[in-house]
Structure 1
């Protein structure tokens, strides 16, 4: 009789998500392609926990060396405050069940925050570890969980919603769940590089192997390299964030490419398609011709029957009902005199007594460059405000921008004490094996940012300059980055800056009308079933 295979416990000390795993597949996901990964297999859970306890998690304090004159280290000395009701994650926690660790992973028996605090004590201004550091997933609302279930069941789904309704939170939760399924090959993409960074993926153009995608379909296929061809043939699920910034013509080209390499009869050749975005935010870039939205494509209706298009309703980013109402009216271009007065009243300086400046948002890159150039001096650089991508907000309070400072340490090296994990961006082949990866501290200068790059961010303190607003949804995207009126300054507001696409409004209304008819039909069906059995 063959001997039963001994159970093993896999301890990941340094990896994407350090901890104890009960199966090799889950552990391998955390270390595959991660620079400097440390892990071991043990015969008992106690031995594995002892190994983990011998050194703190890497996701709180990371080491990077720099050439030094013996003068300084990088130290994020602004304490990360306790999470408040301004955080969409804490608000969701009040409205839905707490999240659990990923399947196959347990919470370590040892509290590593004490180790991290001890390591940080070597610095004069240590930053306390946030209490939520071990919460691996933010909790989801019931509507978000329903969308998650349908996606995991294999449905093609498009989900949308106004700013702050948790689209990015849901998308990240979905990505984590899908990537745990070893039998499913998932492609995580977005329409822009910044959006791809936020979800830990690549641009849709890069994944598809189509360059700019401007050539005819037959040429795109003919000049496509073998790696891209294999990706098309082997991918099971394709996720696209910010699909609202893609042209309808591109969607149809991708549909034809998918059917060419796979199944001619099914949209995208049978790949499961999950789209996320808000068409009332920033539109596709147009060079003079009328804008063609993704929902204008021939493939859209075949991909997404009405029941497969979901609008998230609960706003988590803002809690002020007056502000939420104003934002929704901005989104739909239905401003009233009261809304005008509210936005004009925000043209006043914000209180900077806490030492944190507001992030400046501009419509045009040249305005951002002007501000950054003005601030970029040796002295200002030492006090530079930086942005941490929103992806890390589920672990740390990333919206209280820290201040980068330099202070004396030991000669020969500079060791930064940084309260965010290093970010690894990987390029995978068709078999999801890492071909190349880059690990960096994800900091973006936050003196000024373009509105396009701010899409998806949540900002506690922001100054919006609408003087150069020129496109649909631009003013709405900028103002909706704020969590509340107290932390929002609006300059050069006039109602003419609120621009909304009538084409999108008409399509959105059609979608809402169809939903009402569906609800009415279902209610009537219930009555008939009850009456006639």
Structure 2
């Protein structure tokens, strides 16, 4: 019902002021339901109803000003000029809020000029709307015609804002469009470029629906099946104040706008006993975060050690004083156990999360995404799916060996070398940069909190200090212009400097004048720290671990030194296609899958059908 954009669940505060700006009335609803309605005069209203109260507020959407700068964080403000009322919205699921604001914008700009249809008998309709017959009706979802009209008007207003002459037809048109009935939304750039509007596949919708039904879930899939994309969408559908997004690594956490699991848990590396971990997590600041969390997201779950998972599950029950699994927190777990395994610096043995006692009692439903989005070549996808489970055939070996001699360089961009060890990649980048002639240019990041620089270095892909020369091979670290191919992972080369700014030519031929971009990291206390830096990194070489989650358009590798199950698969699956890949000295011995993981996925797939059709309660009883 909420999906049509006419409903919103959030925290709402309505504040009325007098002509002098002094507050005359204030109403706060910690948990409110908003819906768009229309009366018999065809006026559109927002109805605000508290979850635990019978009181209702109705505000006419006329002469409003919508502030949507922070809507991606679940916050927005709507000012009703005529009623001298300001409505503050917060803790709204971002996707729901964006759709709600977009519906207001579309419905109001998509109306005939004048904002409402003329009535044959306005007095009669006024009486009906105020009488016992009510006359209130829900707003219908936005139609394609309304969407097209709203977009057309948005473009006209955007064009009119560019003029510097007065008066002119465009500015006159602008006044008409921003009359008392049209929302003064900063024109729909954010609303129409809304990332949550990208349609989900049927399999992705199934996972999202399970989350919204309150189930603890684990979803997996091979590399490139859109796991991170779906995870971001899930986060946008949940209330921000009660949702904690985490990941096993800093880079993965940054990718979904979260923090590391170690930061959130408050138990460090978890080397102490369960009793000691519970003591550490019971400190006021940490305990507050644990208690307010209703939804816990863990990305890259494959790299979380099983013993650590058991400890934080026990900590959750202890700190929240709740004996239900994970203290009653809803879990959303994501990852691929065929990729990089757990890192446990205190022990040589690796224990996967699914091998822990906590896993079986905490995870209700399992899902596997099947559709690959990163690679488009069915032949390459088939190869990668075989490599994922450690299956090597003579045909696969022949095909991968044949890439060793192919030329994948283009427009001066060399192939990025993927290395099995971080130090090896760093050494290659530093030596190649030193070999270039010319004057180096160094760019130092601007951090909002200099005391948190070390944390930012650990969690962000962008370096605190970046040194470049003409000819330096670089990788773009942020989506700048998707339609032009300027995306995270795109490969380029520095061709010159203009006014101290590096100019990059990418493999596609696109030229980019690099400017400082912003990254944000949320701390456990909820504060946000930011870094501004040129969105580039040296890219002669990358470690396989650091490449996880990236899509590379020009990559080569030697897999002779791989030391973990899944490492070769992760490296090979970074490539977009066989044509953009060069594998040196390939051998079937470099590819293998962990036997415990293979067994887990066999059982996992065997039960997928049962999980889909047998109600959870019934299945639990049969056990």
Please say whether Structure 1 and Structure 2 have the same fold, judged by a TM-score greater than 0.5: yes
Change in 2 beyond 3 A, CA 1:328/1:208: same
Shift of 1:461: 1.3
Note if contact 1:350-1:358 (Cα within 8 Å) is conserved in structure 2.
Answer: no
Distance in 1 separating the partners of 2:309 and 2:387: 28
Note if contact 2:75-2:89 (Cα within 8 Å) is conserved in structure 1.
Answer: no
SS in 2 for 1:355: coil
Bigger drift between 347-356 and 380-389 goes to: 380-389
Shift of 1:5: 4.8
SS in 2 for 1:309: strand
Q: Note if 1:466 corresponds to 2:556.
A: no
Shift of 1:370: 2.0
SS in 2 for 1:509: helix
* Residue in structure 2 matched with residue 9 of structure 1 by the alignment: 65
Q: Note if 1:195 corresponds to 2:255.
A: no
Change in 2 beyond 3 A, CA 1:147/1:382: same
Distance in 1 separating the partners of 2:157 and 2:377: 37
Pairing partner for 2:302 from 229, 244, 258: 244
* Residue in structure 2 matched with residue 158 of structure 1 by the alignment: 218
* Residue in structure 2 matched with residue 427 of structure 1 by the alignment: 523
Shift of 1:516: 4.4
Distance in 1 separating the partners of 2:550 and 2:162: 29
Equivalences for 1:196-345 in 2 at 5 Å? 196-224=253-281, 225-286=283-344, 289-305=348-364, 308-345=365-402
Shift of 1:319: 1.8
Q: Note if 1:513 corresponds to 2:606.
A: yes
Uncovered stretches (5+) of structure 1, i.e. residues with no partner = 31-43, 50-99, 101-105, 119-129, 526-533
* Residue in structure 2 matched with residue 139 of structure 1 by the alignment: 199
Pairing partner for 2:487 from 394, 397, 400: 397
Shift of 1:309: 0.5
Uncovered stretches (5+) of structure 2, i.e. residues with no partner = 1-24, 26-56, 79-86, 95-103, 110-143, 145-149, 164-188, 439-467, 502-511, 619-623
Distance in 1 separating the partners of 2:160 and 2:427: 43
Q: Note if 1:407 corresponds to 2:500.
A: no
Change in 2 beyond 3 A, CA 1:239/1:14: closer
Bigger drift between 317-326 and 279-288 goes to: 279-288
Larger Rg: 2
Structure number having the greater strand percentage:
2
Note if contact 2:75-2:92 (Cα within 8 Å) is conserved in structure 1.
Answer: no
Note if contact 1:136-1:394 (Cα within 8 Å) is conserved in structure 2.
Answer: no
* Residue in structure 1 matched with residue 227 of structure 2 by the alignment: 167
Q: Deviations over 1:411-446 (max 9, x none)?
A: 9xxxx95489522223252xx4x2644444443322
Shift of 1:512: 1.2
Q: Note if 1:364 corresponds to 2:457.
A: no
Change in 2 beyond 3 A, CA 1:508/1:29: closer
* Residue in structure 2 matched with residue 354 of structure 1 by the alignment: 411
Higher relative contact order (CA 8 A, sep 6+): 1
Distance in 2 separating the partners of 1:248 and 1:417: 46
Distance in 2 separating the partners of 1:292 and 1:410: 50
Equivalences for 1:33-182 in 2 at 5 Å? 109-110=154-155, 134-137=193-196, 138-178=198-238, 181=239
The number of aligned residues is: 430
Distance in 2 separating the partners of 1:435 and 1:504: 37
Distance in 2 separating the partners of 1:158 and 1:135: 26
Distance in 2 separating the partners of 1:425 and 1:359: 27
Distance in 1 separating the partners of 2:75 and 2:294: 29
Change in 2 beyond 3 A, CA 1:27/1:254: closer
Note if contact 1:12-1:18 (Cα within 8 Å) is conserved in structure 2.
Answer: no
Distance in 1 separating the partners of 2:332 and 2:524: 20
Change in 2 beyond 3 A, CA 1:6/1:315: same
Shift of 1:351: 3.1
Aligned residues: CA RMSD: 4.0
Change in 2 beyond 3 A, CA 1:310/1:4: closer
Change in 2 beyond 3 A, CA 1:276/1:519: closer
